[in-house]
Amino acid sequence: MDESGEARVFEQETDLRETMGETMEISVKKCIPSLDKHCKDFISRSPFLCIGTSGENGRADVSPRGDPPGFVQVLDDNTLFIPDRPGNNRLDTMTNIIENPNVGLLFLVPGFDDTLRVNGKATIVRDEALAQAAVVNNKEPKVGIRVEVQEAFLHCAKAFKRSRLWDEKSRQNRREMPSLGRMILEQTAPPEEPPTEETVKDTDEFVEENYRTELY
């Protein structure tokens, strides 16, 4: 806060640096322009990533992607292919990419507290050879996201250590919150027409059936 007690808003990097300090030298040097053996090994172990995009109007989105470890294909030192699996067809990530190809990827490996960050430019492609290599349960993706890697770097473990994400003691009981179907219905129903228990039951059953039949 400033002297008046109001929250201070930082609008210049120089002002922010005065408060936060300079970047550590190793954090600058660790950023590399292509995928080395360590990056490739990390990606081969990763069953989960988050992809950040934004549209031409600046609307931002972060979306999860998951599959068996190694589902992201490393085509060469500067190219990745991420298969697209069935979803809700909002297509937030892919429409953003069409408008603005800049993307950021965060790769996670269960049990690893460090992560891998990759930034680059993406395109939406339909490639039969890549799709065949991404077949799961005899189903191939219709399209995929090809990423031209511009920089990659390993990210330290502080966030995971603070959150204790992989710690068994950190696990929470999912039943302490309503089902996904109930929450969405309550979020979208008019106040004067709350969802009935029958509607909630039908929706939850639909969600579970979709998990069983439309995962791939």
Q: Are residues 106 and 30 in the same domain?
A: yes
Task: Please report the pLDDT score of residue 27 as a whole number.
Answer: 80
Q: Are residues 183 and 104 in the same domain?
A: no
Smallest CA-to-CA distance from 65 within 78, 79, 53 is with 53
Q: Are residues 40 and 107 in the same domain?
A: yes
Q: Are residues 60 and 133 in the same domain?
A: yes
Residue 2 in any domain: the answer is no
Task: Please report the pLDDT score of residue 5 as a whole number.
Answer: 78
Task: Tell me how many domains the chain contains.
Answer: 2
Q: Are 42 and 109 in contact (CB under 8 A)?
A: yes
Q: Are residues 69 and 111 in the same domain?
A: yes
Task: Please report the pLDDT score of residue 1 as a whole number.
Answer: 55
Q: In a 3-state reduction of DSSP, which class is residue 156?
A: coil
Residue 62 in any domain: the answer is yes
HSE-up of residue 126 (Cα within 13 Å, Cβ side): 1
Q: Are residues 116 and 180 in the same domain?
A: no
Task: Please report the pLDDT score of residue 197 as a whole number.
Answer: 97
Domain range for residue 191?
172-213
Task: Please report the pLDDT score of residue 100 as a whole number.
Answer: 98
- In angstroms, the first-to-last Cα distance of the chain is 50
Task: Please report the pLDDT score of residue 212 as a whole number.
Answer: 94
Task: Please report the pLDDT score of residue 119 as a whole number.
Answer: 98
Place of tokens 């300079």: 22
Q: Are residues 153 and 187 in the same domain?
A: no
pTM of this structure: 0.92
Residue 64 in any domain: the answer is yes
What is the domain-level CATH number for residue 80?
2.30.110.10
How far is Cα 165 from Cα 178, in angstroms, rounded to an integer? 22
Chunk the chain into consecutive blocks of 10 residues (it has 216) and report each block's average pLDDT, rounded to whole numbers: 79 91 84 97 98 96 97 98 95 97 98 98 97 96 98 96 96 97 97 96 96 94
Token pair of 18 as six digits: 């005065």
Q: Are residues 21 and 111 in the same domain?
A: yes
Cβ partners under 8 Å of residue 184, min gap 6:
203
Q: Are residues 67 and 155 in the same domain?
A: yes
Q: Are residues 154 and 187 in the same domain?
A: no
Q: Are residues 149 and 196 in the same domain?
A: no
Task: Please report the pLDDT score of residue 2 as a whole number.
Answer: 63
Residue 89 in any domain: the answer is yes
